[in-house]
Chains A and B, each alone.
Chain A
Amino acid sequence: MGPEQLLIQSVFLPLLVSPLLALLPKRMGKQAGWAAFAVTAYISALLLTLATRIFTGTVEAYVFQVPWAPSLGLTFGFHADGLGVTMALTIALLASIVAPYSIRYMDGEQNMPLYYGLYLLYTAGMLGSVLASDLIEFYLFFELMLLPSWALVHGWGTGDRERVAFRYFIYTHMGALLFLLGILATGAAYGSFSLFAIEEASAQGQPVGSTAARLIVAALLVGLMVKLAIFPFHAWLPDTYVEAPTPITALLSATTSGIGGYAILRIVFTAFPQTILEFSPGLAAMALVTMVYGALMALAQDDIKRLLAYSSISQMGYLLFGLASSSALGLVGAIFLYFSHATSKAALFMISGVLTRQAGTRSIRQLGGLASKMPYTAVAMVVGFLSLSGVPPLNGFQSEWMIFLGFFLHGVVEGGAVRVVLAVAAVMATALTLSYSLWTVRRVLFRQLPSRLSRVKEASNLFIVPLMVLTVLTVATGVYPQFLNQLLSRVMEALVP
């Protein structure tokens, strides 16, 4: 099999298997879950082989392209360079780690074959977006991940799930429409929707005037910032993350939201390299506000799942800060953060589910002293929170130092006082992250065990094994970050002069 076939399989296999799973008899929920696991694990393996070849330098990127609607100038294809493959690998890996957890967590729910069908469809949407080589194709996949995720929240969520799902749909869809306007204008400006063509053309200079370019970039950015849940576009996020079924929350937070950041890199940086640099101080300011705001809101929460939701908002602020650094190092840091946030935040959301199942509550006030009862969960939780806080040698530290140093590198050299102040303030804001992290750890795991929790037991293997896999990944990529660094460096150096 050629590498192009591997790429096609990565997106189309889940697309094709998805309806088959949905059609399984209702009592075969578990089997459907294992099938979803098998498909995503297989794709992870495929993408890992591609990534390894790019890592070793055998090839720079894998490309597959066919004419789609030639009369419209549309092509359909996949483009897996170091950046795309990192994103896709993260998504596939997370989907395969969450699937077994899902089997245990959703045990006893209705209509599970349909759930797993949608699960695969959702995964395919994410994989397609990060591998797409054409703007319209990107948009289609972008919507393809929204629809099944909406359906999953709508159908299997908790609380006021229909309303929450509807709001999630409306908000992110509005963002997506604005984004659509942006890419239509981009396509019109460049006369092509193919990212390759745009990349080539933009190297010769922007085809539109600076005002038009600013308008287009603003539309694209606002649209994508809704997905990233940057303050003040975050309103959809907390309720959605809280009420979505926990495995889906894990994926939404770990993999979906950051795709907004990826699109800023892939589309805005490629098409409007000069204009995006003009925007970067403003983006940095918004990122900083988001970092601080999310962390402050997290401090006020009692429901650990809601706390994690706000923490996700704050973390996407970090990601945007890296994108606003205007330096290759900061961009690598931003995507490194996509990965490091995925491994730790997915684990933490999964732990919030473990707490619901094992201790019967997610309310921090009612928890406490669980370290002695649930040692593995405790280790995963401490590692996850510390990684979020950027404590070495965990992978969160790697992303943070790259983001901040990247900002300093560019800021001190050419930015002037404002950028230096922004950078210093952003580093200071990490103290808030450590605050809510340590405080939560203390209130959930330490202190006295409330008597009603005296019979709590460690979770079963279907919970623990996925958590341990994530924990190992968090430590391993923190000690040896070079695999991802190398995949990302060259792409980012090409994006930022």
Chain B
Amino acid sequence: MLEYTPWLSWVFPILGALLTPALARIHPRVRDYAAVGFSGLGAFMAFLMFLGYPQVLKGEASAGFYPLSVEWIRVAGVQVKAGMLVDPLSVLMANVAAWIGLLIMVYSLGYMRGDPALTRYWFFMNLFIGNMVLLVLADNLLLLFIGWEGVGLCSYALIGFWHRDSPEDRKTRWVGEGAEEYPPSHCGMKAFLTTKVGDIFLLVAIFLIYSQAGTFSFLELQGNLAWARSLAEMGLLIPAALFLLGGPLGKSAQLPLMEWLPDAMAGPASVSALIHAATMVKAGVYLVARVFPIFFSAMHSGLPSLIVFFQAVAWAGALTAFVAATQAVVSREIKKVWAYSTVSQIGYMMLALGIAGFLTGDALVAAFAAALFHLVSHALFKATLFLSSGSVSHACESRFMDDMGGLRRLMPFSFLSMFIGALALAGVPPLSGFWSKEGILKSVVEAFQASAQAPFLYTLAALTVGLTFFYSLRVVGLVFLGGKSAHLQKAEKLGHHVHEAPPLMWIPYLALALITVAIGALAPLLLEGFLSMFSPSLSTLAHLEGGEAMEAHSPLGEWLVLLTSTLMLALGGIPAYYAYVAGRWNVKAWVERRPELKALQVFLLRRWYINQAYYRVFVDPALKLSDRAHRVLEFHGLLRFSSLVASGVTTLYSRLRKTHTGVFNDYAVGLMGGLTLLIVLLVWLGLGG
């Protein structure tokens, strides 16, 4: 029975989605609770995987298991089996997705109450959870791609959930400011299109790999690396590896494909928490981790040029971490700060995975484990941050932090949760984020010897630590401390009083915050657990190259990391404290007075102009080109061509006009005559042949 759990853990949520419209006919309440129930069943099944496959936790499942593989497609020489791959990585990811999913479904009961389109909401939420779990459990690239696009579809539908784009919802449901203010339906479309660009590259890579390997299966790809050699001979290995990276860069919103995620905040807060922070955007990290052993062992079996892949991952991660963090510093919208922050933190995970490729021995295992540990800890505290932000925005009826302020006493649970989450995000000891981020920084230091690029990567990562603490405190200060904003005072005069969210909402995010604290407390133990979970499966990789096996952490590295991160926390934290917590510095006035600071603020608010550049370079020219080409080629070109044809035909017609009687029967007779002629022709040809 337990061997069915990997299948059931995604089938239950999908079943729940499919039943939602039917259950809605019985009673809305039945629909709501059944939706949560089905995701609960899925989460329970994900948990049971630990019991069904105890070897996974012990790290003995180095090769992974294939429970119940079934033939899914067999066509023209291509056979695809649908199977679940159970190993530490997949079980971990499935549990993160299913359990955080469940908590957010509970939160949704309160947050989405009264929305007229709840059937659609539950449908896509459960469909999302099912596809996400399928994605991480799939044992081959094609099945993974189905889940991958499935979550993209749900993301599209849920970002644009409030698709009416009503101007009266501008303050709550739109996103951005000025020229870059977008309504929800635009944002959903943008997200789908941008990630699709990445997915197209991924698909090309999958095809290139299959063309040589003849298989989509992860384990088979790793088992026999002949495909990599023959791709390399054709000069296609590096393109294939980099194309494959396109998928993760799109899905995980890394540079150069990060621009969709900040605008994805037009969706409900629950959606942002689940899809655009905790789970779906981690799919890219997951895929890189999934193909890591494949490319790594290929690199160490005579294809050293593959280091380019790991370098690309590391640089994309480090640059994204830094660029996104600078944008979070200035954003005025609460959810958008967390969105930039998500992009930035995923950058850290990518950085760690890329760095792991530079390393060998225990250091490799440590870097790999650090990336995944950060993934888990980030999923928890970022979900807290988004869910509590949802409550706050809901209470203040605005997405702008300028409209909040002084909420600490009015919303104590939300304050506590967001405060814990923000500190964890900033990497303040001893919360979970501290341990996971330290692990990543240490790994980068370990790579100093292996690669001359590592110091640059480290600089970017260290600067990001300071920026992160700054913007985290800024949010807490602007939202909860200080005096009430003019917006709130006005609302109070009208009789609208801000109050704490109902327990159905705050219990989930407070629980997540407490788990964050617990993980921080138990971190050294948990890290050990992570290492022992991943090291058996990675140890074969770690000791591939005979050379010196690297220690996990050198003492010098530990000191360097401790020193820089303390320094950076101080550099980011102290100004933020004076400006937003103690309220002694007036940053606004300061920026107004100094034109160079003002220019920097605008530059960051305009998102380094990357977003605008995409519209100017891709969207507008494509529309203009299609419009012009249509006018010139189709309208004028064809019109002229047709009139030429027409005049030709008219000449012909005037000669043949007597046969054109307009009577259908005459045409039929004509046709028969033609056929007779044809047959005569045939006979002639036949005789000739």
A interface with B by C-beta (< 8 Å): 69, 72-73, 136, 140, 143, 147, 151, 167, 170, 180, 184-185, 187-189, 191, 235, 238, 293, 296-301, 327-329, 331-332, 369, 371-372, 386, 391-393, 397, 401-402, 404-406, 408-409, 411-413, 420, 423-424, 427-428, 430-432, 434-435, 438-439, 442, 445-449, 481-482, 485-486, 488-489, 492-493
Q: Are A184 and B682 in contact (CB under 8 A)?
A: yes
A-facing residues in B71-90 (Cβ within 8 Å): 72-78
Within the complex, which residue of A328, A397, A449, A482 is in contact with B77, where a contact is CB–CB below 8 Å? A328
A432 to chain B, nearest CB (A): 8
B207 touching A184, Cβ below 8 Å: no
Nearest CB on A from B25, distance (A): 14
Q: Assuming A391-B153, A446-B185, is B630 touching A485 (CB within 8 A)?
A: no
Identify 20 residue pairs between A and B in the complex whose beta-carbon atoms are under 8 Å apart, listed by A's number: A72-B679, A191-B689, A296-B625, A297-B629, A297-B634, A300-B623, A300-B630, A328-B76, A329-B76, A329-B78, A372-B164, A409-B210, A412-B211, A431-B196, A432-B622, A438-B192, A439-B189, A446-B165, A447-B183, A449-B164
For B, the interface residue count at a CB cutoff of 8 angstroms equals 68
Contact B688 A188 (CB under 8 A): yes
Residues of A within 8 A of B559 (CB): none
B149 interfacial by beta-carbon distance below 8 Å: yes
State whether A442 and B200 are in contact (beta carbons under 8 Å apart), knowing that A235-B638, A329-B75, A447-B165 are contacts in the complex.
no
Closest B residue, CB atoms, query A490 = B76
Please determine whether B76 and A448 come into contact, CB atoms closer than 8 angstroms. Answer: no
Residue of A nearest to B243 (CB): A424
Say yes or no: B686 contacts A72, CB within 8 Å: yes
B145-176 interface bits toward A, Cβ cutoff 8 Å, 1 = contact, 0 = none:
11001101100100010011111000000000
Taking CB as reference atom, which chain A residue is nearest B152? A391
Known pairs A408-B210, A438-B193, A486-B74; A136 contacts B145 (CB<8 A): no
Q: Is the CB of B211 within 8 A of A413?
A: yes
List A contacts of B646 (CB < 8 A).
167
Instruction: Count CB-based A-B contacts (< 8 Å).
Output: 175
Q: Mark B640-651, 1 if CB is under 8 A from A, else 0.
A: 011001100100
A445-B689 in contact (CB<8A): no
Please name the residue on chain A nearest to B629 by beta carbon. A296
Extra contacts, 9 of them, besides A391-B152, A420-B236 (Cβ < 8 A), are: A72-B683, A147-B671, A296-B625, A328-B77, A402-B76, A431-B200, A442-B186, A447-B163, A488-B75
The residue on B at minimum CB distance from A386 is: B153
Central interface residue in A72, A180, A405, by most chain B CB within 10 Å: A405
Question: Which residues of A have CB within 8 Å of B630?
Answer: 296-297, 300-301
B185 near A238: Cβ-Cβ < 8 Å: no
Chain A residues near B649 (CB, 8 Å)?
170
For chain B, residues 652 to 675, give those with C-beta under 8 angstroms from any C-beta of chain A.
664, 667-668, 671, 675
Bound CA–CA A187/B679 (angstroms): 12
Q: Does B163 contact A445, Cβ atoms closer than 8 Å?
A: yes
Residues in A whose Cβ lies below 8 Å from that of B554 = none
Known: A140-B675, A235-B642, A434-B196. A493 touches B77 (CB 8 A): yes
Within 8 Å CB of A301, what residues of B?
Answer: 630
Q: Specify the chain A residue showing the minimal Cβ separation from B119.
A: A375
Rounded to whole angstroms, the CA-CA distance of A424 and B208 in the bound complex is 10
Contact between B193 and A431 (Cβ–Cβ < 8 Å)? Answer: yes
User: Residue B232 at the A interface, CB < 8 A?
Assistant: no
B681 at the interface (CB under 8 A from A): yes
> Which residues on the A side are within 8 Å of B395 (C-beta)?
none
CB within 8 Å for A189 and B689 given contacts A300-B629, A427-B203, A446-B185: yes
Minimum C-beta distance from A422 to chain B (A) = 12
Check B574 for interface membership: any CB of A closer than 8 A.
Answer: no
Whether a CB of chain A sits under 8 angstroms from the CB of B589 is no
Instruction: List chain B residues, Cβ under 8 A from A492.
Output: 76
Beta-carbon contacts of B605-633 to A below 8 Å, as 1s and 0s? 00000000000000000110111011100
Report if A404-B671 is in contact (Cβ < 8 Å); known contacts: A170-B645, A486-B74. no
The listed residue with most B CB atoms (<10 A of its CB), out of A392, A406, A408, A428, is A392
User: Which chain B residue has the least Cβ–Cβ distance from A169?
Assistant: B667
B212 within 8 A of A: yes
Given contacts A329-B78, A438-B193, contact A447 B164 (CB under 8 A): yes
B178 CB, min distance to chain A CBs, angstroms: 20
Name A402's contact: one of B74, B75, B625, B689 (CB within 8 Å): B75
Residues facing A in B49-80 (CB within 8 A) are: 72-78
Query: Is B1's CB within 8 Å of the partner chain A?
Result: no
In contact, A405 and B210 (Cβ under 8 angstroms):
yes
> Is B197 interfacial (CB-CB < 8 Å)?
yes
With a cutoff of 8 Å between Cβ atoms, the chain A residues found around residue B23 in the complex are: none
Q: How far is the CB of B222 from chain A (nearest CB, A)?
A: 21
A151 close to B664 (CB less than 8 A): yes
A404 nearest CB neighbor, chain B only: B207
Known: A328-B76, A448-B165. A401 touches B678 (CB 8 A): no
Evaluate contact between A331 and B76: CB separation under 8 angstroms. yes
* Inter-chain contact B149/A180, CB cutoff 8 Å: no
In Å, the complex CA distance between A299 and B618 comes to: 14
Chain B residues with Cβ below 8 Å from A482 are 72-74
With A327-B76, A412-B236 already in contact, the answer to whether A423 and B689 are too (CB < 8 A) is: no
A392 close to B77 (CB less than 8 A): no
Q: Verify if B234 is at the interface (C-beta below 8 Å from A).
A: yes
Asked whether any CB of chain A lies closer than 8 Å to the CB of B556, the reply is: no
Return chain B residues, CB-CB under 8 Å to A140: 675
How far does the alpha carbon of A432 sit from the alpha carbon of B78 in the complex, in Å?
Answer: 28
* B200 engages A299 (CB within 8 Å): no
Q: What's the least CB distance linking A492 to chain B, in Å?
A: 6
For the complex, is B567 an interface residue (Cβ under 8 Å from A)? no
**Cβ B146 vs Cβ A489 within 8 A:** no
B134 CB → nearest A CB, Å: 10
Known: A423-B207, A431-B200. A332 touches B166 (CB 8 A): no
The contact of B149 among A293, A392, A431, by CB within 8 Å, is A392
Cβ proximity bits B587-617 to A, threshold 8 Å, 1 near / 0 not: 0000000000000000000000000000000
A150 to chain B, nearest CB (A): 9
Closest to B196 in A: A434
A140 CA to B634 CA, complexed, in Å: 32
Residue in A371, A393, A420, A432 whose beta carbon sits within 8 Å of that of B163 in the complex: A371
CA distance A371 to B196 in the complex (A): 24
* Chain B, Cβ-Cβ closest to A480: B72
Closest A residue, CB atoms, query B234: A412
Report how far A434 CA is from B689 CA in the complex, Å: 51
Contact of B200 among A72, A151, A428 (CB under 8 A): A428
Task: Give the residues in chain A near B210, CB-CB below 8 Å.
Answer: 405, 408-409
Q: Which of B167, B193, B641, B685 contacts A235 (CB 8 A)?
A: B641
B467 at the interface (CB under 8 A from A): no
- Contact present for A442 and B146 (CB under 8 Å): no
Alpha-carbon gap, A482 to B625, bound state (A): 40
Pick the residue among A299, A332, A446, A489 that contacts B164 (CB under 8 A).
A446
A162 and chain B: residue at smallest CB distance: B662
Task: Chain A residues near B156: list those with CB within 8 A.
Answer: 438
Given contacts A170-B649, A412-B212, contact A481 B76 (CB under 8 A): no
Q: Is B204 an interface residue (CB 8 A)?
A: yes
Does B465 count as interface, using CB distance less than 8 angstroms? no
Closest chain A residue, CB of each to CB of B681? A184
CA distance A226 to B645 in the complex (A): 15
Check B581 for interface membership: any CB of A closer than 8 A.
no
**Which residue of chain A has the shortest Cβ distance to B624 in the bound complex?**
A300
Q: Are A299 and B622 in contact (CB under 8 A)?
A: yes
CB-CB < 8 A to A170: which residues of B?
A: 645, 649
What 7 A-B pairs are tightest by C-beta distance, nearest first?
Answer: A328-B76, A446-B185, A300-B630, A446-B163, A485-B75, A299-B626, A412-B211
Report the bound CA distance from A188 to B678 in whole Å.
Answer: 13
Instruction: Decide if B142 is an interface residue (CB 8 Å cutoff).
Output: yes
Residue of B75, B153, B197, B234 ringed by the most chain A CB atoms within 10 A = B75
Q: Chain A residues with Cβ under 8 A from B685's Cβ?
A: 184-185, 187-188
**CB distance B200 to A438 under 8 Å?**
no
- Whether the Cβ atoms of B193 and A435 lie closer than 8 Å is yes
Residues of A within 8 Å of B686, CB to CB, are: 72-73, 187-188, 191
